[in-house]
């Protein structure tokens, strides 16, 4: 079996999302959680993994990461919820917002 690569989204303590990719998701999440990785997530701990998807190649995982990073918060929430119908609708709208500005996923 070949190596697995991941794209993931964590929800930060301030409610924001961080998207990344890795070949070792357990290690990467631990690094984020322990502040080993300096940057966006280090000052927004604790973190909660809310989405992950595996890929067969690093290229595909990084491509998905870059695509998701460019999405609106509403589209990220639709992906996290795996609401692909809503995701498609939001993809067709410019500057999409969720109904009434409510975008909590929990």
Tally of domains in the chain: 2
Q: pLDDT above 70 covers what percent of the chain?
A: 87
Residue 16: name the closest of 70, 64, 77, 63 by CA. Answer: 77
What CATH number is associated with residue 27? 3.40.1440.10
* The predicted structure's pLDDT at residue 37: 83
11 compared with 91, residue with greater pLDDT: 11
| Same domain as 60, residue 24 | yes
Provide the whole-model pTM.
0.86
- Structural domain including 58 reads 1-70
């Amino acid at each position: 079996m070949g190596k697995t690569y991941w794209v993931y989204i964590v929800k930060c303590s301030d409610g924001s999302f961080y998207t990344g990719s890795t070949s070792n998701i357990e290690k990467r999440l631990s690094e984020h959680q322990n502040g080993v990785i300096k940057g966006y997530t280090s000052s927004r701990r604790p973190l909660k993994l809310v989405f992950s998807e595996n890929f067969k190649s690093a290229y595909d995982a990084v491509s998905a990461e870059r695509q998701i990073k460019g999405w609106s918060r509403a589209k990220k929430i639709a992906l996290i919820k795996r609401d692909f119908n809503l995701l498609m609708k939001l993809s067709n709208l410019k500057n999409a917002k969720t109904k009434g500005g409510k975008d909590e996923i929990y």
